[in-house]
Structure 1
Amino acid sequence: MGVSTSSPEKGPEKGIAVVTVDVPPVNALPVSGWFALADAVRAAGRDPETRCVLLTAEGRGFNAGVDIKEIQARGQSALAGANRGCFEAFAAVYECEVPVVAAVQGFCLGGGVGLVGNADAIVASEDAVFGLPELDRGALGAATHLARLVPQHLMRVLYFTSRTVTAAELHAHGSVWRVVPREELTAAALELAREIAAKDGELLRLAKAAINGIDPVDVRRSYRFEQGFTYEASVAGVADRVRDRFGKEDKEAEEGA
């Protein structure tokens, strides 16, 4: 469990490093998990044998964001840690020296959108859904990354309502490369990663740097700006009020199940 990496020399395909998140029950990462993921992606990209990184997850869903229970239990220190950890993990994906392909199944929420929004390509299973439930969780952020997946006005509606979109809908917008049955997800993601990894390694690294350099939005600066409002909501007490309500509703739902 946790974050693991298969090296490009010993992994499923030559030149492909597979970084896998496995944090039951729903891959909601604690503070340490976000930093571990950032370290794993950066290390994989630095390996001269790596030509493509495949970001995957075990379990029912790809990523459920931050561990809300940890933040409720530890307060401001956990919130600050989660913010820094998410920032580092999202940046690690974006700044990875080689292309990153995300293989997404089930739910991809909150921080999950931050990860895939900064990836170079997304392959998703038919049951995958993407969204930012931040306003229901007493937080803000990752609109920067959702805006890389959908048009501006749709991003705003999704953000303000906490609604989700399907993999098929994102495929129609061009942000998801392929949508496949769940059992075919790994093979489909590896197929794309293999095609990328067949290119010259040095040229791929130059290409990644060049493409990032012409991005119209500085994703690090944009996301950091958003995080400032997360802190403001916390200081004002708004975040705790919303999180407490969410926790109560979540507990009542569990008891009623």
Structure 2
Amino acid sequence: MGVSTSSPENGPEKDGIAVVTVDFPPVNALPVRGWFALADAVRAAGRDPRTRCVLLTAEGRGFNAGVDIKELQAQGPSALVGANRGCFEAFAAVYECEVPVVAAVHGFCLGGGIGLVGNADVIVASEDATFGLPELDRGALGAATHLSRLVPQHLMRALYYTSRTATAAELHAHGSVWRVVPRAELLHTALELAREIAAKDGELLRLAKAAINGIDPVDVRRSYRFEQGFTFEASAVGVADRVRDTFGNEGNQGA
């Protein structure tokens, strides 16, 4: 359980691909330590001069269910601060990774999962993948910054206000998902794309990543930090707890 990395040297792929895998049963709702561990793993992979592409994957039922709601309920404000900081670091690590990041998404991709894939360079998804922000149903806010990178503005607002999800096929139609494949083919397809990227000159890839980030129309770090201020406000006035207390007790489902 946790975050693991197969490096270009000792992993199954010795062609410049670092595979970072998240595994927090039962639903990959990450505790505070999990977000920081993920950030550290992605940053370390990107700094490795042998790495030319990072492949972000997950084990279990779904790609990511966001933060661990039960941890928030048990530990209160300290866990909220930790979760916000951890998410900020993990999202930034993916965005700022020195080489391209390919996200291989299966099952559910919710809450913090949207922050990860919204900051990735390319998304490959299985046919059963769904994407959404159930934040308003979980007493939380945030990651509209990243959902805006996946769907048009008005659709983003509709999904955000309703807590509905979009399918991988729908995101593919909007151009934000590269390929949609049967679940059994997900890892193979994602690795195939990662190999194609990693075949390029490593130094030039790093320059290309920096150049593309430099022309982004939205500063994702600043935009997400702005959103987080409203998350704190919701917590401070008691709205977050009121909504969160109505949330079901099925495992450590996230937001």
TM-score (norm 2): 0.97
- For 2:201, the aligned partner's letter is D
Matches within 5 A, 1:18-29: 18-29=19-30
| Number of matched pairs | 250
Matches within 5 A, 1:169-248: 169-246=170-247
Q: Which protein, 1 or 2, shows the higher relative CO under an 8 Å CA cutoff with sep ≥ 6?
A: 2
Task: Please name the residue that 2:4 is paired with.
Answer: 4
Task: Please name the residue that 2:249 is paired with.
Answer: 251
Q: CA RMSD in A?
A: 1.0
- For 1:32, the aligned partner's letter is R
Give the secondary structure class of the aligned counterpart of 1:101.
strand
Q: Distance in 2 between matches of 1:60 and 1:105?
A: 8
Q: 1:49 to 1:237 in 2, by over 3 A?
A: same
Q: Distance in 2 between matches of 1:165 and 1:155?
A: 10
Q: Distance in 2 between matches of 1:252 and 1:44?
A: 34
Q: Distance in 2 between matches of 1:163 and 1:12?
A: 37
Task: Please name the residue that 2:129 is paired with.
Answer: 128
Task: Please name the residue that 2:139 is paired with.
Answer: 138
- For 1:155, the aligned partner's letter is M
Identical amino acids, percent of aligned pairs: 89
Matches within 5 A, 1:137-176: 137-176=138-177
Q: After superposition, what is the alpha-carbon deviation per residue over 1:201-247, rounded to whole angstroms, capped at 9, x for unaligned?
A: 0000000000000000000000000000000000000000000011x
TM-score (norm 1): 0.96
Is 1:110 the counterpart of 2:111? The answer is yes
Report the Cα offset of residue 251 of structure 1. 3.5
Hey, which of these two has a bigger chunk of helix by percent? 1
Give the secondary structure class of the aligned counterpart of 1:251.
coil
Q: Distance in 2 between matches of 1:252 and 1:20?
A: 24
Give the secondary structure class of the aligned counterpart of 2:249.
helix
Report the Cα offset of residue 9 of structure 1. 1.4
